[in-house]
Chains A and B, each alone.
Chain A
Amino acid sequence: MNLSGLGKRFGARWVLRGVTLEVSRGEAVGLLGANGSGKSTILRILGTLLNPTVGTATIDELDIVRDASAVRGRVGYLAHTPGLYDDLTARENLRFAADMLGLGYAAVEESLDRVGLSNVAGDRVRGFSAGMQRRLGIARLILRAPRILLLDEPYSNLDAEGIDLMNSILGDVVRAGGAALVALHELAPARGMLARTVSLVDGRIEPVSPALAAGERTGPMSVVR
């Protein structure tokens, strides 16, 4: 992933002001920042859901605007909200995703099994807790078998088991030579998973304070400008 001078303006307000960042293969990078700092905007731009106002970004050397369709096939984007259909069952939600991705339904059962929702697969999502919905969102992410992960607050609403599950998926992608950009409020749940961490302040990449970085167990802390 290569972001160069990326800027995004909503109306008169610049949310991102020249973000430059590189995430290499086999690397997971943490993106810290306060609410409204622009973390989600970066992920949505990389997920081809928003076009940047200025600057460029490439994923696997594909331009996110010009080659948006090809980029979508490589990227797995886990949004802050699960984006599930409440009146469909867990299985129906994943079968819908499988239809959209051109996959067989056997992969649906495997994904449900991996996130531990096989026993409630026939239940409507409306009755699921926030944590279960998050797990179902992760199951949909697994279904895509993405090379690139864009994770927006991936640990929210997850219990310890769910955090381990998220980390194992993140580890699998990174070990397979993929890359991940993970937007976080706090580093603790991602301990040992991130190669480095950057911080977003006022729409710009800033150094991470040593106190904050101390939450991270392994990997060098660095900032890319």
Chain B
Amino acid sequence: MAWRDDWRRVRAIARKDVTTELRAKAGFNSVASLGVTILILLGLALGPDAQALRDAAVGAVWLALLFSGVLAFNRSFQVELESGALEPLLQYPGPRWTIFAGKLLGNLIFLTLMVTIVVAVGVVLFSVRIPSRWPTLLGVLALGVVGLVVLGTFYASMASRSRAREVLLPLLLFPMLVPVLVAATTASKALLGADLMHDADAWIRLLAAYDVIFLIATFLAFEHVIEA
């Protein structure tokens, strides 16, 4: 059945990406180090005031995820380019969206590992109190990461065709990520506070809507982006 073959391709690409990244330890270590370093530097800059640290926690964590994510997205296509494997990958029969879906899944798994590290370090360094609505907060984190990974993977594929891809990716990605980051940080901040006005719910709906729109748009556009 066609969908089974497609799903097999998606899993194969994701498994290959995660395996190569974890084996080439430099990739995971550099991305994780960047995220943790950003948190430490911001923590040091804010000083010992516990309330100031708590207020800045959400922004700091998302900033760390954003920059380490960009590094990870660039690497996901760099692996293909370095070994000249992009052309064989494009030469396999089957729909091209499976390549995007596989890369997306691989980046999602990789970034989930990153998020676990960055959030754990962020909670400790910024003295964050776990709120009663922590499952909702995790949901916001998941929606934000999905938005980040969808756009990051798509623009990394677009930038991979350029010689200046390391420079091009942030230029393309950052403006598009503004709505995702604003919604994710505002919702997270509301959930970490009292959220008396129930601001978080509206931002969460907006974040989910952005994710759905970006997911559909990027799947539709990928084939045209990756074609020579």
Contact = CB atoms under 8 A, between A and B. Distances in A.
A86 interface: yes
B16 A85 contact: yes
A183 to B, nearest CB: 15
B91 A50 contact: no
A73 B89 CA distance: 13
Nearest to B5: A102
Contacts of B13: 100
B8 A84 contact: no
A146 to B, nearest CB: 11
A172 interface: no
A185 interface: no
B41 interface: no
Contacts of A101: 92-93
Chain B: number of interface residues, binned into ranges: 20 to 34
Chain A: number of interface residues, binned into ranges: 20 to 34
Interface string B1-44: 00001001101110010011001100000000000000000000
Nearest to B88: A83
Interface string A74-98: 0101010111111110001000110
B87 A44 contact: yes
A51 B228 CA distance: 7
A99 B12 contact: yes
A143 B9 CA distance: 16
A79 B19 contact: no
A84 B16 contact: no
Contacts of B89: 83, 100
B11 A85 contact: no
B16 A49 contact: no
A84 B83 contact: yes
Contacts of B23: 87-88, 124
Contact of B83 (A48, A83, A96, A124): A83
B213 interface: no
Interface string B169-212: 00000000000000000000000000000000000000000000
A87 B8 contact: no
Nearest to A125: B83
Contact of A92 (B8, B19, B84, B88): B19
Given A49-B90, A84-B83, A124-B23, 6 more contacts: A51-B227, A69-B94, A72-B93, A99-B11, A100-B13, A102-B94
